[in-house]
Amino acid sequence: MAAPFLLTTELDNIGIVTLNKAHKRNALDEDAIAEIDAYFSNIPEHIRVILMKAEGDHFCAGLDLKEHHDKERGAVDFLRVCQSWHRAFDKIEHGGIPVIACLQGAVVGGGLELASAAHIRVADSSTFFALPEGTRGIFTGGGATVRTAKIISPNRMIELMLTGRVLDAVEGERLGLAHYVCNNEANPKTAYELSLELAQRIAGNAILSNYAIVSSISRIADMSATDGLFAEGLMAAVVQTGRDVQERLGEFVNKKAHKVKPTK
Ligand code: 1HE
């Protein structure tokens, strides 16, 4: 039997998911997408945050080009492949649980589509981003036109795809593809250390706040202003009357809560 594509483990209430096909640079074949879908469809109830990382020097080389070449898929077959990616990645983005992607090396093509579905991206300084589809005679099919374009703008995505330009970690951070770059002078932590630190911090938030943050903000961005304000109000009405709220706000009222302060 083939080794699983995903290794899954837990650290307290943090789910740790590892792409485990380093010898193929974690390229995504049909089985890999099915495993991602299965994990994110059945997140154990006690898991508050998910940290997604990868074995080897590269996070993910995108679509398994060998499988695609060998299968000689027709248009309908590949439409179904794309829809399976869309379903799986939608569960990452809209599963209600914050997902942190810990990146290194290649985050390219479908690998960037996968990372774009996560809520926070922490990059090792070795990370590079690209959408090489345009220069390989193919097109994105795992959600980049929606998610990656939303992050960097459609216009920047067009330029990256037409030219095949490769962005390093710092250029990626500037465009929003990474929120943090690690392993450099400014931030000597490893990407994994920082990802775990962020995961632990986020796991301490109220469950309902985390749910609202990861479920509603990107959806509201797709709405008209009128609908968005209404949806925001509804979401806030649910969260602000949640179970933890009295206790947490009580800590502030009784001067026991942390204050908001600059970190530097
Ligand atoms: C692969 C793949 C892959 C590596 N599918 N097998 N993605 C791309 O165009 C990226 C293609 N890959 C690369 O450019 C490079 O492999 C990397 C920069 C990621 C890494 O380079 P390197 O020198 O570390 O590794 P390598 O020697 O190129 O690859 C090691 C093995 O992984 C090798 O197989 P082997 O049998 O010769 O050992 C490679 O063939 C294999 N490998 N990448 C299959 N992608 C829903 S639509 C999404 C559209 C896309 O994602 S298009 C894909 C874009």
Ligand 1 center–CA 121 separation, angstroms: 21
Q: Which protein residue has the closest C-alpha to ligand 1 atom 25?
A: 25
For 187-202, give the secondary structure using H, E and C.
CCCCHHHHHHHHHHHH
Tell me, what's the pLDDT at 251?
A: 86
| pLDDT at residue 189 greater than cutoff 80 | yes
| pLDDT at residue 51 greater than cutoff 90 | yes
At 264, is the pLDDT very low, low, confident or very high (cuts 50, 70, 90)?
Answer: low
Could you identify the atom of ligand 1 that is nearest to the CA of residue 142?
46
Average pLDDT on 206-214 reads 96
At 210, is the pLDDT very low, low, confident or very high (cuts 50, 70, 90)?
Answer: very high
Average pLDDT on 200-223 reads 96
Average pLDDT on 8-29 reads 98
Tell me, what's the pLDDT at 2?
A: 83
Tell me, what's the pLDDT at 260?
A: 87
| Catalytic sites, residue numbers | 113, 133
Q: By the 8 A CB rule, do 2 and 29 touch?
A: no
| pLDDT at residue 253 greater than cutoff 90 | no
Average pLDDT on 140-150 reads 98
Q: By the 8 A CB rule, do 233 and 216 touch?
A: no
Distance, first Cα to last Cα, the chain = 51
Pocket of ligand 1 (CB under 6 A): 24-25, 27, 58, 61-66, 82, 85, 106, 108-110, 132-133, 136, 138, 140-142
Tell me, what's the pLDDT at 154?
A: 98
Average pLDDT on 120-142 reads 96
Q: How far apart are CA 16 and CA 95, in angstroms?
A: 15
Ligand 1 center–CA 260 separation, angstroms: 44
Could you identify the atom of ligand 1 that is nearest to the CA of residue 106?
19
Q: How far apart are CA 211 and CA 188, in angstroms?
A: 31
Domain boundaries 203-252, corresponding CATH code: 1.10.12.10
**Average pLDDT of the chain, as a whole number:** 96
4-200 folds as 2-enoyl-CoA Hydratase; Chain A, domain 1 (3.90.226)
Residue 164, phi then psi, degrees to nearest 5: 70, 15
The domains of the chain are located at: 4-200, 203-252
Q: How far apart are CA 178 and CA 240, in angstroms?
A: 30
Tell me, what's the pLDDT at 216?
A: 97
- State which H helix or E strand residue 6 sits in: strand 6-11
For 27-95, give the secondary structure using H, E and C.
CECHHHHHHHHHHHHCCCCCCCEEEEEECCCCCECCECHHHHHHHCCCHHHHHHHHHHHHHHHHHHHHC
| pLDDT at residue 202 greater than cutoff 90 | yes
Q: How far apart are CA 33 and CA 39, in angstroms?
A: 10
Reported as a single tens digit per residue, the pLDDT across 54-97 is 999 999 999 999 999 999 999 999 999 999 999 999 999 999 99
Sign of CA dihedral 62, 174, 48, 94: negative
* 107-111, 199-203, 247-251: range with lowest mean pLDDT: 247-251
